[in-house]
């Protein structure tokens, strides 16, 4: 799946702490159709120089597994439905009256530590979700 990727150093701040993070923004394409806009944050303290290893089609989880010996084993996701911003409208090439799935994700490693935080946006008319519980 081709994607466009830019990597920037960013300071993320919540009320508890401040970290230096790699901000990775991607637009995932399916048959040259933008289907998924994702912004992820990875701690550069936990993963030094991560931003230097990422290329346009890199699997960041593979990089983290191979270079930092860290594996994602658990995710916490929250699904919302939102109206797109002007920028999201443009990047996802939306038509009139589209709405988006917004997914907030926290990924954890084997120690229970956060690997990354991500926000994804997907057009509701192009994707569907199946939820299975046990």
Classified as helix, coil or strand, 98 is coil
Question: Is residue 27's pLDDT more than 50?
Answer: yes
12-25: pLDDT as tens digits: 555 445 567 788 88
Mean of pLDDT values over 39-64: 85
**DSSP string of 6-36?**
EEEEEEEE-SS-EEEEEEEEEEEEETTEEEE
Nearest to 25 by CA among 63, 52, 53, 54: 54
**pLDDT score for 56:** 66
24 touches 37 (CB < 8 A): no
Sign of the CA dihedral running 110, 52, 56, 23: positive
What is the model's pTM?
0.80
């Amino acid at each position: 799946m081709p994607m466009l990727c830019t990597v920037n150093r960013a300071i993320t701040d919540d009320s508890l702490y401040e970290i230096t993070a790699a901000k990775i923004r991607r637009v995932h394409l399916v048959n040259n159709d933008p289907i998924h806009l994702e912004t992820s944050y990875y701690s550069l303290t936990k993963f030094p120089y991560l931003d230097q290893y990422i290329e346009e089609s890199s699997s960041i989880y593979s990089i983290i597994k191979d270079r930092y010996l860290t594996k994602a084993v658990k995710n916490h996701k929250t699904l919302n439905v939102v109206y797109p911003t002007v920028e999201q409208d443009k990047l996802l090439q939306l038509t009139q009256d589209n709405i988006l799935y917004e997914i907030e994700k926290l990924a954890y490693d084997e120690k229970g530590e956060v690997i990354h935080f991500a926000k994804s946006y997907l057009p509701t008319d192009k994707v569907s979700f199946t939820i299975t519980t046990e």
